[in-house]
Chains A and B, each alone.
Chain A
């Protein structure tokens, strides 16, 4: 069995994000970058399948600048077998889904597992678009995954508004991981050292023969409004009046 997983390079959730001077994006200097946490969950799930099955190959893909190597190395250190870095300059979700479609055609995996969304732009689009392009079944926001029929089909539990939904579908398929699917492992010291020797293929997106232009333009990026300072009220009555009159929550 072959499983393709993704690893997007995103700012560390602990980093303080500042909007850049011309309001078109974020200030990137001095930021620490990590693997998108939802992608980490996807990688973990692929590794668990590999461990349960005994034999499977886990291929990890990242699309973006050459710096994405760092995130691919993390995935390899966790236990993925090899990596593919597709270099592309600031692609939008549509372009990424086109790129991944090509990679899937090259690799013919039995399963694609991705994070449900990336924590930087929260687009939540690529998994869905990729499944559509491939004409494969998709299951998004999954919190449980079980393979059956010797890896020929899958049953997923997905988190939906107000409850859980269980889906069964044949493979190949695209699934996207939600937070509760698993808890990703640490990259161990032996894993980190082994990762150096694992193959990392580099592909230039422009060689894939696809449209890479952005279909979405970012007009402006703004920080969330700063929270005003609180104030101490003298009495319960004053508090209720403020909640009714100013905050309008009662």
Chain B
């Protein structure tokens, strides 16, 4: 097979514009002080330039990077060919700083637009975007919690591409159970500590794109309380940073190994040893010990939104590739000509079942884009309203909190399934490496695992988020939904589907009451058993609501503008069908999920271990 760098990436800018502006109305943000230094035209230009970077630079090194992978030799990690050049171009363009605050030297663009820019970059090359994404996340932590001194030392390097960044949480025995970490920090003086311990699964843990790597690391100060209450956040540069800002010798941070993975092969996943054979100096982030988990939690909404976007983005390019293949590939005759052995062969897009798969993928992608976009927009409104209207800001923050686990888990689960369906559309051609969809599938599996497994998301939803602001967040969510159902149940285009959504929403409330019941009765094993199905049901309802809302917008545009081209008319028709299909074919899973929750079935808990299989 040829190693030529082929760009398989495909993007649907028209759909992205529709969700962002026609459906969600993000343009309103630019009328408010926090975002008024920008305009939609600026953002359109940035989108165009980003798309060009994706097609010319990031896309062409996606499959070659997957094949080549990262290597560790003599303690040095090397990224695949072309990654260094791409890194340089990315930072010259300034893209990683799109939503960084003006104060920190960024452009303070809306998160909702950043979501679309991310969709492009992640779809073009998910592994590559890990390096810049983690740098952004680590920089944000320092910006929010660091002292002025921390900011002066680290932020410039992390917003110019000179430094990479990571999040060092997991340890060999502490993954989902973060409280179990054993890395220690011993106070030297000021905010300096000696760090000692081993961290694993560190994305971008080491690489050759930047001159230095800044690790944001969780460790336990000697004598700190047990569990998550005794964890502190440290800034640990790989190489000592000299007085003049240049990078000096190694700070005793050693890359012990790189993982060999199913996917995201050009993203280096490292085991890092800190302070193994010498002094490794870290700096407390901020000025308070034992608040590391709180600090991490504050930043988690953004990171989890990002993972949701990863699932969505890879799925979106997988869908568009499958669609192109379905239009091109000829196989079989039309079912209408089944009696005629000489009937002409047709493109497989003409077969009903292929159309079903394509529309299933499309509606899920429209839904993922809408729910991730909606969450990002809530974040933007929090920024806009924070000082002006605290009540409204609290409403938006509540919806961010509530949607965080849903966006992360829904998009990562469904994104993977869309990739699987994309392979099914290709048939055997999708199973081989000549086509891009097998890589999309492999790359996508990690999204439901890292940044809090999807079960952790479900627990976050049922244990914490449903009770957010004493239940007000959930009440707001349900209120928005009920208003929509009441207003549109008789709509000629989507009335029937809206009624179905209303029924599903009632079932969801019954299931929610059952979950609360298990919690009140202290039946924690059942609470945790039903958490995942509940989250899935709630996700379907939330996504279906957004898709029907989008369908209404599209139906309006389709029937009111008489000058539009046939293409535009068809585009809007596609959005209407996407909503109807989701409501009728996919969303009804809510009914079976809720039925299972209300059944109080305990089989999965009560089955004896040997009942799974007696051959241990």
A positions within 8 Å CB-CB of B: 27, 29-30, 70, 73-74, 77, 186-190, 192-193, 196
Contacts and interface: CB of A to CB of B under 8 A. Distances in A.
A188 B41 contact: no
A189 B52 contact: no
B89 A29 contact: no
Given A186-B49, A186-B53, A192 B42 contact: yes
Given A27-B565, A30-B568, A187 B92 contact: no
Please give me the 8 A-B residue pairs with the lowest Cβ-Cβ distance, nearest first: A189-B94, A29-B565, A30-B565, A192-B45, A188-B93, A186-B49, A188-B94, A187-B49
Interface in B17-56: 37-39, 41-42, 45-46, 49, 52-53
A188 B92 CA distance: 7
A29 B563 CA distance: 8
Contacts of A192: 42, 45-46, 49
A179 to B, nearest CB: 16
A189 B568 contact: no
Contacts of A186: 49, 52-53, 89, 92-93
Contacts of A188: 49, 92-94
A223 to B, nearest CB: 15
Contacts, number: 46
B564 A29 contact: yes
Contact of B98 (A27, A187, A189): A189
B45 A30 contact: no
B139 to A, nearest CB: 16
A35 B95 CA distance: 22
A70 B43 CA distance: 12
Interface string B77-110: 0000000000001001111011000000001000
Interface residues of B, number: 23
A19 B89 CA distance: 38
B149 interface: no
A188 B95 CA distance: 8
A234 to B, nearest CB: 17
Contact of A70 (B38, B41, B95, B567): B41
Contacts of B92: 186, 188
A193 B93 CA distance: 12
A30 B564 contact: yes
B42 A193 contact: yes
B168 to A, nearest CB: 29
Contacts of B94: 188-190
A30 B95 CA distance: 27
19 contacts: A27-B565, A29-B564, A29-B565, A30-B565, A73-B41, A73-B45, A74-B45, A77-B45, A186-B49, A186-B53, A187-B49, A188-B92, A189-B95, A189-B97, A189-B98, A190-B94, A190-B107, A192-B45, A193-B42
Nearest to A192: B45
B41 A189 contact: no
Most chain-A Cβ atoms within 10 A of its Cβ — which of B49, B52, B53, B568? B49
A186 B39 CA distance: 19
Given A73-B41, A73-B45, A77-B45, A189 B107 contact: yes
Nearest to B571: A30
A77 B559 CA distance: 37
Contacts of B41: 70, 73
Most chain-B Cβ atoms within 10 A of its Cβ — which of A29, A74, A190, A192? A192
B93 A189 contact: yes
A162 B303 CA distance: 58
Contacts of B89: 186
A186 B563 CA distance: 34
Nearest to B89: A186
Nearest to B53: A186
Contacts of A77: 45
B111 to A, nearest CB: 15
B50 to A, nearest CB: 9
B551 to A, nearest CB: 20
B568 A29 contact: yes
Contacts of B39: 196
